[in-house]
Structure 1
Amino acid sequence: MKNLPLHVKIIIGLVLGIGYAFLSSAVGWNEFTINYIDPFGQIFIRLLKFIAVPLVLFSIIDGVSSLNDTSSLGRMGLKTLGMYLVSTVTAITVGLLIVNFVDPGSHIDENQRVKNRISYELWAQDAGVEVKDGKNFLNDDQYKAIADDLIASGALEENQQSVEDKVAVAKQQKEEPPLQFVVDMVPENIILSISNNKLMLQVIFFAIFFGITLAVIPDEKGGPVKKFISSINEVFLRMVDTIMKAAPFFVFALLAGVVAKMANSPGEVFEIFKSLGSYTITVLVGLCAMLFGFYPFVARTFIKKLSYKKFFKKMSPAQFLAFSTSSSAATLPVTMECVEDNMGVSKNVSSFVLPIGATVNMDGTSLYLAIATVFLAQLHFVDLSLAQQLTIVLTATMGSIGTAAVPGASLVMLIIIMQTVGLNPAWVAIIFPVDRLLDMTRTVANITGDATVATLVASTEGELDMKD
């Protein structure tokens, strides 16, 4: 067991965790699992999160301050943002193509879809939202009886409290000026920014600014500070190594808790996935297209010695951890380790590209947002026009910049997109049951996209030393 690679141990922990959770739900141990096993999984996430911010801070300062030519920073920044933009738009486009082709929202009883549509039109009337697809089921004699029953029974979608909270957050974000995210990048108080994982962009801004300033200070004055920063960075990297030695156990606890919280019996878990099966499969197909198609293809095209097999072998520890934690930020320390030690990307590049990617590059999330929006529209017999779907591309691309790298943050962005194209934001409750599973999977795509871009940037900058 000691000689097994880390990623194999993590896989074993992951499988055992899921298997144990199903067993515990079958024999009635769920309460024990949630109370006494799941906390260790939460500790794991906390350990990774508390390391993430200082690691980003000191690694960026260390990397930027060591650049001999600070002008290369601007060039590297443009490449990074350009590549992230291309990968995000690609992910959204792939998502839209797949969801329109598969049409998962139509794979339910048509009478239920008719009821959903009438409920939507009633909601649109009440909310003052324009129905843009030209259909009018409320005034169609064919559906009059169904409409009357729905109106009489009051069977409209009720916003759950969790949905209401997310709608409120989404409304606040939607009303912000278009360049508010740029303003939000500049910290008012760096101490407060460091203490809040959601303000990672502010930490990155400060670190780059600090690093550039330190780089232009003569070595006789700036040298001791550089050595101190480098030493602190090494301490945090060693802490990551220490935590990762226990990762298989922590992953077991985390997955056991996640599955145990979903349902009280294996049958309930299967029913949850069965009811949303076509949607879940569509999202997974889209994510797999990015994971097993786009990323390795692009990497192989520009880096000839990086084979398909090597790509996944080098990135698998971070990918399995991302699946377990559902957090790009929590996985960041391990992503950096994989990219530097396995891919051969220099610390200068990885410490600059990856923290930015963990904050602004959300390929998996963007793909999910596109599919989820169209699926929910299909479920309610709403036809989204080409203009509306292009709006999804634009909104999801811009929104991914501000989506926090933590579990569940994408639901807020989904609400914003749905409001933008005239759909009922309360519908997000429909996909809540499977969101955790999909969140885990799309996080894998997020960090894989980050790693791919970091490797490509390093290759173009002559900062890639990949070993066989």
Structure 2
Amino acid sequence: SRPVQNLVDGAMEVFLKMVDLVMQAAPFFVFALLAGVVSKMAGDDIGKVLEIFKGLSWYSLVVLFGLLLMIFVIYPLILKIFVKKIPYTGFFKAMSPAQTLAFSTSSSAATLPVTMECVENNLGVDKKISSFVLPIGATVNMDGTSLYQAIAVVFLAQMHMIDLTITQQLIVVATATLASIGSAAVPSAGLVMLIIVLDSVGLNPAWIAIIFPVDRILDMFRTVVNVTGDATVSSIIADGEGMLHYPEGKNPSNTFEVES
């Protein structure tokens, strides 16, 4: 059995080294891909190149504004309507560890254990509710991804001088919603599902190369939106079932045994 084990271990080391090399070279690959797309769109005209990056900046700001609006306005407003006992600042203090981890990992699945700790210990949601709602939410609740995909499709269509009809825009909304539900809870999964949304309205999926450079930072905010939404929904359901026991005045850092 030793030779077989050595063979498997050696093959694993080879594959890990290959992945390591690809990850190290990934920034150069993205730069080369972006340079090729920009060159094809703008040619030798510096003005058009600047116009492309200006449009990319506006796209990033619009997506970021929408995501921040959902985090700090939409979700807290929904929570306040249905759950009176959790204050605005108390909610964010309770969820700050999970939101910070979500921002750094860009993965709802990786953040799930911390999200469950925050929801159960800081917001007072019963474990029966959190253990059922949060795993489902981490898989299907991708509101940030849905918003980003819809804006990305409109931006790419406008950049290529294509006017989307009302019917096509409705198709984008429906497809983005369904694609976000089917997205995996891993980093940049929404970018892959964006191909489906573009194809649904007859746009070229290769156009996503232009938004590669800014996708990572937007993905971090999208994950924060998703985690915040999961906590909001679980709190509302727990309150409706009489299983919400919000501990007022509790320091969230005590949940993870961190001295404040």
For normalisation by structure 2, the TM-score amounts to 0.75
Question: 1:364 deviation in Å?
Answer: 0.6
Q: Give aligned pairs, total.
A: 206
State the alpha-carbon separation in 2 of the partners of residues 368 and 435 from structure 1. 10
State the alpha-carbon separation in 1 of the partners of residues 219 and 201 from structure 2. 23
- In structure 1, the partner of 2:83 is 303
Q: Could you report, residue by residue, the CA deviation over 1:274-325 in whole angstroms, capped at 9, with x for unpaired residues?
A: 6721111000000011111110001111111211111111111100110000
Q: Could you report, residue by residue, the CA deviation over 1:84-120 in whole angstroms, capped at 9, with x for unpaired residues?
A: xxxxxxxxxxxxxxxxxxxxxxxxxxxxx9x95xx9x
Q: Could you report, residue by residue, the CA deviation over 1:338-361 in whole angstroms, capped at 9, with x for unpaired residues?
A: 100111000000000000000011
- In structure 2, the partner of 1:398 is 178
Give the alignment's Cα RMSD to 1 decimal: 2.5
Correspondences of 1:116-265 after superposition (within 5 Å): none
State the alpha-carbon separation in 2 of the partners of residues 380 and 307 from structure 1. 45
Residue identity in the other structure for 2:99 = Q
Q: 2:118 aligns with which of 310, 330, 338?
A: 338
Contact 1:273–1:434, Cα closer than 8 Å, also in 2: no
Q: 1:279 aligns with which of 59, 64, 74?
A: 59
Question: 1:273 deviation in Å?
Answer: 7.8
Establish whether residue 385 from structure 1 lines up as the match of residue 170 from structure 2: no
Query: Helix, strand or coil: the match of 2:190?
Result: helix
State the alpha-carbon separation in 2 of the partners of residues 402 and 378 from structure 1. 26
State the alpha-carbon separation in 2 of the partners of residues 298 and 348 from structure 1. 22
State the alpha-carbon separation in 2 of the partners of residues 369 and 466 from structure 1. 35
- In structure 2, the partner of 1:413 is 193
Q: Could you report, residue by residue, the CA deviation over 1:113-145 in whole angstroms, capped at 9, with x for unpaired residues?
A: 9x95xx9xxxxxxxxxxxxxxxxxxxxxxxxxx
- In structure 2, the partner of 1:209 is none
Higher alpha-carbon Rg: 1
- In structure 2, the partner of 1:320 is 100
State the alpha-carbon separation in 1 of the partners of residues 192 and 129 from structure 2. 31
- In structure 2, the partner of 1:102 is none
Q: In percent, how many aligned pairs have the same letter?
A: 65
Correspondences of 1:5-154 after superposition (within 5 Å): none
Structure 1: runs of 5+ lacking an equivalent: 1-34, 40-112, 120-149, 154-271
- In structure 1, the partner of 2:34 is none
- In structure 1, the partner of 2:218 is 438
Residue identity in the other structure for 2:183 = T
